Each structure stands twice: as C-alpha cells, then as structure tokens.
Structure 1
Amino acid sequence: MAFHDIRFPASLSFGAVGGPERRTEIVSLASGYEERNTPWSHALRRYDAGMGLRSLDDLYTVIAFFEARAGQLHGFRWKDWSDHKSCLPSAAPAFGDQVIGLGDGQTRSFAITKAYRSGGVVYQRPIAKPVAGTVRAGIGGSEMFIEINYGVDHAAGVILFHEPPAIGAEVTAGYEFDVPVRFDTDRIAVSVASFQAGQVPSIPVLEVRV
C-alpha cells in the first residue's frame, strides 16, 4: 500500500458525516463491577464520503478519485471540517497554539501534536499530515520563521529547526492539518435514478495509521 499525497476534494468532504472512533474492551465481573481496557492509544476516524455529494458531477469526481486510488489500496488526505486546525474552527492558527515539546539544547526535530483537554485530562494526538503553507512555529514565546529558522516535513508531521531550542524553552506550533485515510470499500454502488431522487451512495472512508 502506498500513500498518495493528495487531498480528497474539500468541497465534497464538507457535507460528510463522521468522527473519531475508540475501541474499548469491557469485561463484566460477577460483582457487578467492570474492567475496561483499550488496545488503541489513539482513535481512528471514520467518515462517509457519499454524504457530501450534491450532483452527478460530484459523483463523477468521487468515482475518478476512487479509481485513481485503486479502491482501498492507496491512502490519501481528508479534510475533517469539524477538526482541522490547531485552534478553534473559527480562529486562525497562531504559532503559540500548541506546545509540542521542550528544548534540551540538542534536539532539533519535533513531531507535531494537538492537545485535547477536558476535566484536567489531556490527550495528545499525533498530527501526521499538516497542510503545506499553514505551519507556524515558535520557541520560548517568540515566533520563528520557515526556511530562516526551520523546515517542515509535511509527509510526516515533523518540524526541524536549524538550531536546537535552548534547554527548557517551550516549542510551539500552529497549523491546519488533514487526516490520512483510505476508502473502506472496494465497491461503489449507485443508481443514477435514486441519486437524482435524493438517495446518495454510502462511500465509507477510514483513517489509517502512518
């Protein structure tokens, strides 16, 4: 399987339905208590690409995209309109949005992450597919500048500074990002008559780990 560094048409993912999915294993004990565990440290997201289709031209575009990816074989980028920034959806990414590490005087490479906070609990999500041209970075509260101070590996979600941040300095980042996904089916079944009547096909899309 290869990953094609191309985004599913954002205008068609706008109306898609989907979100994060966790896997929890639950064992009910004789006492009535439960034991809960998960084999996943990170969620996987599922979407339905069919829900964003509004015309036969849209359907044609999706079929062409599907054929070029050979069905489930190759992955691609997906814009999740409900969660695609380092900040609130209504805001613009800023260099101080997310703390992605602390300087130790030696490390120059920092993986991009996003923190989700609730009730004192913080979950750190790896961001593997930042969008080119949107990444901003900072060190110790001061903005750094791309090419002058750092570069970005957009295929792996890594910021590489030209000089290692000082010991204890917060390394921060702001960005937009895509979700790495693949089609979760090798078949698209559609009736043109049904589609024109308002019934859209189901085209499942599944996040992949990269």
Structure 2
Amino acid sequence: MSLVRLNIKGISYSQTQNGAYALILNEIDGERKLPIVIGAFEAQSIAIALEKEISPPRPLTHDLFKTFSDRFNIVVKQVIIHKLVDGVFYSSLICERDKIEEIIDARTSDAIALALRFKAPIFTYKNILDKAGIFLKGEQDITTTDNEDDFNDEDDILVDALLADLEEDQKENPKNNLSSKSLEELNNLLDEAVANEDYEKAAHLRDEISKR
C-alpha cells in the first residue's frame, strides 16, 4: 500500500460539540483533507507546537517526551496513520536510537503532537485517505484553535457533521458506548478483551478506565 504525506492545515473548534476539536490534515500532493476528532488537551498541545512564539511556563507532556528522547538520543523519524476502525484512527511512531529502528503504537493526536516537536513527516495510507478524506473549500492556513474565521461556513458545517457522525457511530457501536458502564464492568470487559486478544477493544476500555 502506498503512503501519502500529510501536513497540518489547522484545528477547528466545533460549534455544536462542546470540548471537541477537529484536526485537519491535508495531503501534500492533492486537495483532500483528513479530519480527526481530538480532545481539548491534545488540541492545545498541537496548537502550541504550531505557534512558535508560544512557550508554556512548564513543559507539557509532549514537551517532556521530547526532552526525554533528546537526552537518550531517541529520534522520531516519522508518524504513520496506519488504520481506521469505527471512526478511530490508529498511528505508529517510527523511532530510531543507535541506528536501531522501533515502531511504537500511539494515539494519533499524541503522534502528531510529537511529530511537530521532532519535525517528523506525517503519512497515511492511500486507502485510509480514500475512505475518510474530504474536500474543504476554505484554503486559508489555521495555526491556533481560537481562529475560527479561517474556516468558511461550509467548512464548519462539514466539520460539525463529521463530529455528529462520529458521536452517532459511538452510540451505535457497543465497543465505543462505554460511558454507561460501571468501573467494575469496565475491568471485567477489559479482562475479557485481553483474554480474547481483542487489543483494539482493550485499548478503548483502558482509556475509559483511565479517564475514570
């Protein structure tokens, strides 16, 4: 499968979904955009990395990871968004230390926040872009989460529709509908998922347990 290189067009805040942001990636040799729903913390971390003049008083988690990696001569060479399942993107960090390459699983929002800090290229596979890519008419660059004027009205509608569709998918998909489960039920489901080697489901459950 062929890889397609992406760059970051920007971040848009949803007018209808509180606390939800859409990270918009753009294929370099094309016009399609890949929108990815991310949380507020990840949006802030990515926005700070995009805005070179902003420096937080204390290092954010991704800044700490970068400092740690630099100290131990670990380099993130590239990020690959390699899978899309039930509206969730899965990514890998391609890292190198002492000429030994390692592949590390990562949430896409974390992977992109780190790619910015390491100045590493971002790729996805053509079939993922064929499946999830969209066309947006607004072509201005976006560098911060609060610059909402950079998207035109049609773009905002598309982004909001994306977020609404994702929310609906999560309601319909039992794997993603975890908010109504008790902590005990989540731990039981996690044990069951690990026993069945359903690691994707286990990752969702682990994240929900961590949030609790």
Higher helix share: 2
Higher Rg of the two aligned structures: 1
Higher RCO (CA-CA < 8 Å; seq separation 6+): 1
User: Structure 2 length as normaliser, TM-score?
Assistant: 0.27
